[in-house]
Amino acid sequence: MQLYGMDPELVDIYNIRHLQSIKVWDLVDESGSKTLIVPAILIYYDGGKYLNLCSKDKYFDIFVKKVMEVYHDEKNNIVEDALTDPFRMREHIDIDERSKRILESGELLNRDAIYEFYKDKEAYNQNLIFQIDDVRSFIPIIKYHLEKLFTFTDRHLSLEDDLLGYHDNYVLKGKLDGIDYLFPFTFERCSEDMVIINIANVLKNEPIKMMIAFKSDGLEVTLDHQSDLKVTSSMKITNGTIKGIMDIMRKGITVRYTNIDLLECEKPPLSDLDYETNLKWFKLPWNAYYGIDTSIDTISDDEKIIGIDSVYLGISDQAFYKKEFYSKRYKRQKTATKDADDMILSEVDKSILCYKLDEENGLYVIETSFADNTTDYNHRNRYYYHIVMSKDLSSINKEDLRPIGKREEVISKTDLANNYKLLELVKGE
Both 293 and 422 in a single domain? yes
Higher pLDDT, 197 or 109: 197
Is residue 253 situated within a structural domain?
A: yes
42 forms beta bridges with: 23, 52
Both 146 and 218 in a single domain? yes
Residue 349 has pLDDT above 80, yes or no: yes
Q: Which of 199, 231, 261 is the last residue in one of the domains?
A: 261
Both 48 and 152 in a single domain? no
User: Sorting pLDDT into bands at 50, 70 and 90, what band is 69?
Assistant: confident
Both 52 and 179 in a single domain? no
Crossing angle for the helix pair 60-74 and 97-105, to the nearest 10 degrees: 110
Query: Can you tell me the distance from the alpha carbon of 202 to that of 272, in angstroms, rounded to the nearest whole number?
Result: 38
Amino acid at 342: D
Q: Which of 111, 142, 177 is the last residue in one of the domains?
A: 111
Collapsing DSSP to helix, strand or coil, 373 comes out as coil
**Strand order across the beta sheet in which 94-95 lies:** 49-54, 39-45, 19-26, 94-95
Both 282 and 308 in a single domain? yes
Both 202 and 84 in a single domain? no
Please, which residues have CB within 8 angstroms of residue 411's CB and are 6 or more apart in sequence?
A: none
pTM, to two decimals: 0.79
Both 211 and 291 in a single domain? no
Question: Is the distance from CB of 182 to CB of 173 less than 8 angstroms?
Answer: yes
Query: Can you tell me the distance from the alpha carbon of 295 to that of 237, in angstroms, rounded to the nearest whole number?
Result: 14
Q: Report in angstroms the alpha-carbon separations of 179 from 5, 83, 114.
A: 65, 93, 48
Is residue 125 situated within a structural domain?
A: no
Query: Can you tell me the distance from the alpha carbon of 387 to that of 405, in angstroms, rounded to the nearest whole number?
Result: 11
Both 242 and 332 in a single domain? no
**Per-residue model confidence as pLDDT tens digits over 285-329:** 998 999 998 877 776 777 777 788 899 999 987 889 999 887 777
Question: Is the distance from CB of 268 to CB of 288 less than 8 angstroms?
Answer: no
Is residue 105 situated within a structural domain?
A: yes
Within a 10 A sphere around the Cβ of 377, how many other Cβ atoms?
14
Question: Is the distance from CB of 213 to CB of 219 less than 8 angstroms?
Answer: yes
Is residue 116 situated within a structural domain?
A: no
Q: Report in angstroms the alpha-carbon separations of 310 from 15, 73, 219, 371, 386.
A: 41, 42, 10, 15, 24
310 forms beta bridges with: 292, 325
Average pLDDT over residues 18-33: 80
Both 272 and 397 in a single domain? yes
Residue 225 backbone zone (phi > 0: left; psi -120 to 50: alpha; other: beta): beta
Three-state SS string over 73-132 comes to HHCCCCCCCCCCCCCCCCCCCEECHHHHHHHHHCHHHHCCHHHHCCCCCCCECCCCCCHH
Comparing 33-42, 147-156, 409-418, the range with the smallest average pLDDT is 33-42
Query: Can you tell me the distance from the alpha carbon of 185 to that of 171, in angstroms, rounded to the nearest whole number?
Result: 6
Residue 250 has pLDDT above 90, yes or no: no
pLDDT at 429: 59
- Domain range holding 66? 8-111
**Per-residue model confidence as pLDDT tens digits over 251-287:** 889 988 999 999 999 999 999 898 888 899 999 999 8
**Per-residue model confidence as pLDDT tens digits over 158-202:** 999 889 998 899 999 999 999 999 999 999 999 889 999 999 998
Query: Can you tell me the distance from the alpha carbon of 364 to that of 124, in angstroms, rounded to the nearest whole number?
Result: 19
pLDDT at 393: 87
Both 88 and 137 in a single domain? no
Write the DSSP symbol of residue 339.
Answer: S
Is residue 351 situated within a structural domain?
A: yes
Residue 282 has φ and ψ, to the nearest 5°, of -130, 140
Average pLDDT over residues 41-58: 89
Is residue 122 situated within a structural domain?
A: no
Within a 10 A sphere around the Cβ of 94, how many other Cβ atoms?
12
Both 26 and 149 in a single domain? no
- Structurally, the chain folds into a number of domains equal to 3
**Per-residue model confidence as pLDDT tens digits over 326-345:** 777 776 766 555 555 677 77
Is residue 67 situated within a structural domain?
A: yes
Q: Which of 241, 261, 281 is the last residue in one of the domains?
A: 261
Q: Shortest CA distance to 178 belongs to which of 150, 204, 197?
A: 150
Query: Can you tell me the distance from the alpha carbon of 197 to that of 146, in angstroms, rounded to the nearest whole number?
Result: 12
Q: Shortest CA distance to 386 belongs to which of 408, 360, 370, 371?
A: 408
Residue 125 has φ and ψ, to the nearest 5°, of -95, 0
Amino acid at 73: D
Is the torsion defined by CA of 162, 166, 167, 169 positive or negative?
Answer: negative
Both 182 and 75 in a single domain? no
Count of all residues that appear for the chain in the document:
429
Residue 109 has pLDDT above 80, yes or no: no
Is residue 20 situated within a structural domain?
A: yes
Q: Shortest CA distance to 257 belongs to which of 247, 266, 265?
A: 247
Is the torsion defined by CA of 97, 101, 102, 104 positive or negative?
Answer: positive
Question: Is the distance from CB of 52 to CB of 42 less than 8 angstroms?
Answer: yes
The gap from C-alpha 116 to its chain's centroid, in whole angstroms, comes to 13
pLDDT at 426: 85
Query: Can you tell me the distance from the alpha carbon of 79 to that of 389, in angstroms, rounded to the nearest whole number?
Result: 57
Q: Report in angstroms the alpha-carbon separations of 160 from 143, 182, 279, 289, 390.
A: 8, 10, 32, 21, 25
Q: How many CA atoms lie within 13 A of 261 on its CB side?
A: 7
